[in-house]
Amino acid sequence: MSAGKFEYAPAPESRSVVDLRSSYGLFVGGEFVPTADGRMFKTVSPATEEVLAEVTEAGTEDVDRAVRAARTAFDSVWGPMSGRDRGKFLFRIARLIQERARELAVLESLDNGKPIRESRDVDIPLAAAHFFYYAGWADKLEYAGFGADPRPVGVAGQVIPWNFPLLMLAWKIAPALACGNTVVLKPAETTPLTALLFAEICQQADLPPGVVNIVTGAGATGQAIVEHEGVDKVAFTGSTEVGKAIARSVAGTHKLVTLELGGKAANVVFDDAPLDQAVEGIVNGIFFNQGHVCCAGSRLLVQENVYDEVLDRLKRRMATLRVGDPLDKNTDVGAINSAEQLRRIATLSEVGEAEGAERWSAPCELPDRGYWFAPTIFTGVTQAHRIAREEIFGPVLSVLTFRTPAEAVEKANNTPYGLSAGVWTEKGSRILWMADRLRAGVVWANTFNRFDPTSPFGGYKESGHGREGGRHGLAAYLRAGNPKEAARA
Ligand code: TAP
């Protein structure tokens, strides 16, 4: 046994459950079709750099074809269909995700680099749960508080990032379909494979052709969707920079838009917190999914009188994290999603050192091939440091201190973002006092990174606008039948 770390025999999940094709077309009008005007690109496993498959880079003509297929399906089948019947399709999709959960989990870990424990226990079950949850709403929309006769918006153009590929797809597609819209969705360039497997699930569920269209590609494909005249609603999850460009491009058009953007969440630990639990929460807050989490607790605020103790326990806990093969069931921290993201994490970490913060990384051996970054913390961080202000989107934690609750609130809110926050304390009254003052869409108390389809999620300030999840998540996909009632909802 090495220092603090038990030795386990490798426990790799088998890849044989996944049937990878060598190349994938676009999913348009219920079929996989070749590109009309695009090219092909490769998707790799970030853990090994192995090429997994060739995927189509959709051009503007392909996007146009997908939007037209979505429009036809909306006008002829999906829009007119009763909510009860739409719900049946969503329940069917949810059950198929459950039936094919192992296949989806392995494919997600291969393409994204995240540990199989997370894709198996978090991403895929939550994706199924979103379809189950919104299936239940499909025939109850008139009771959702958006007017007596809420109508679908039409064709939704949806663009998602690479950090939770299937889960972000579910956040987008499940409420859109439940409300009677049809969709054209673009997964991220580096993680297209589970969206393409989802397309097969749509076929298996006998979903009418054109209700769901999946077009793969890079930023230009996303832009073509956003700018297409036939799109009625744009739903985007990704960086604040691209979100701002999208807001500019849809301004003055008929399109509705929701934006789920970046974050720099504070995780606030008071001196009366149960410290072992808080340390678990800190680790989960920043090292879950390699820190590729928009709501990651990337700024730790520790009350000064417990700072030494928290740091000591945190380092000891970090030394036990297992970094490596995403398909090994013992792995805690997997691969960084791409060479580009690894460069960004490394660059910002160098900036942290250059600005005078002290860097400490968990002792671990990183594999030779692939993209890897050891779990890292920076101490001696001030609010002016770039690593305290900018989203690193990796396994890097900036540690700051505070003395009073008021100072904790001021520091926590001192950010252009406002997606999430965490509070660790024994006192219920303090949790409520903090939650009232923290400018964040979600405030977790004595826990972190908890997600549930019934709970709305979204940002303040530059973290975006609109909510996904829960009853609130329906609002983005409905036009009110009665505007006065909608305003009251
Ligand atoms: P982005 O670079 O913004 O990419 C997001 C998606 O937009 C990708 O599919 C991307 O395609 C596409 N895209 C790029 N340029 C575009 C353009 N000009 N027009 C339309 N689409 C375009 O973000 P990312 O690096 O993949 O994801 C990380 C960011 O997402 C972080 O900032 C994170 O905080 C945020 N995020 C937020 C949330 C929520 S719920 N708020 C959840 C997850 C992630 P390519 O893949 O080809 O670049």
| pLDDT tens digit sequence for 44-83 | 999 999 999 999 999 999 999 999 999 999 999 999 999 9
Report d(CA 158, CA 83) in Å as an integer.
Answer: 22
pLDDT-flagged residues of the chain (< 70): 1-5, 481-489
By most ligand atoms within 8 Å of CB, the mutation choice from 158, 239, 338, 472 for ligand 1 is 239
Atom of ligand 1 nearest to the CA of 190: 46
Contact (Cβ atoms closer than 8 angstroms) between residue 402 and residue 361: no
| pTM (2 d.p.) | 0.96
Q: Whose CA is nearest to atom 46 of ligand 1?
A: 188
CA of 49 to the centre of ligand 1 (A): 22
Cα of 241 vs centre of ligand 1, distance in Å, is: 9
Token pair in block for residue 400: 């700051």
Axis-axis angle for helices 60-73, 219-227 (nearest 10): 50
- Active-site residue (options: 57, 118, 260, 390): 260
What per-residue confidence (pLDDT) applies to 37? 87
Cα-to-centroid distance, 313 and ligand 1 (Å): 35
The per-residue pLDDT for 459 is 93
Which three-class secondary structure state does DSSP give residue 466?
coil
Cα 394 to ligand 1 centre (Å): 15
CB-based burial of residue 406 (10 Å sphere; 0-12 exposed, 13-18 middle, 19+ buried)?
Answer: exposed
**pLDDT tens-digit profile of 342-376?**
999 999 999 999 999 999 999 999 999 999 999 99
Which residues have C-beta within 8 Å of that of residue 51, sequence separation ≥ 6? 42, 43, 44
Supply the pLDDT for residue 417. 96
List the residue whose alpha carbon is closest to atom 21 of ligand 1. 222
- Name every protein residue with a CB atom under 6 angstroms from any ligand 1 atom: 159-163, 186, 188-189, 218-219, 222-223, 226, 237-239, 242, 245-246, 260-263, 294, 391, 393, 419, 459, 464
Look at residues 398, 407, 231, 209 and name the one whose alpha carbon lies nearest to residue 304: 407
Q: Whose CA is nearest to atom 39 of ligand 1?
A: 260
For this structure, is 61 an active site residue? Answer: no
Task: Find residue 235's DSSP bridge partners.
Answer: 158, 258
Calpha distance 454→470 (Å, rounded):
4
CA distance 139 to 128: 19
Cα–Cα distance for residue pair 293/264, rounded to 1 Å: 10
What stretches of 156-306 show up as alpha helix (H) in DSSP? Answer: 165-178, 193-204, 219-227, 240-250, 275-287
- The yes-or-no answer on residue 260 being catalytic is yes
Pairing of strands 51-57, 155-159: unpaired
Which residue's alpha carbon is nearest to atom 19 within ligand 1?
223
Q: How far is the CA of 288 from the centre of ligand 1 (A)?
A: 19
Nearest residue (by CA) to ligand 1, atom 42, is 294
Asked if residues 59 and 38 have their Cβ atoms less than 8 Å apart, the reply is: yes
Write down the pLDDT at residue 481: 64
Strands (E), 327-395: 358-361, 376-379
Which one of 118, 179, 202, 294 is the catalytic residue?
294
Q: What does the alpha-carbon distance between residue 394 and residue 147 come to, in Å, rounded to a whole number?
A: 42
Distance 299 CA to ligand 1 centre (A): 21
Alpha carbon distance 49, 338 (integer Å): 9
Which pLDDT score is estimated for 8? 84
Q: Which two tokens stand for residue 377?
A: 């913390």
The protein residue with its alpha carbon nearest to ligand 1, atom 10, reads 219
Name the residue among 106, 123, 117 with its Cα closest to residue 171.
123
How far, in Å, from the CA of 213 to the mean position of ligand 1?
19
Nearest ligand 1 atom to alpha carbon 226: 20
Best probe residue, ligand 1, of 159, 259, 336 (max atoms within 8 Å of C-beta): 159
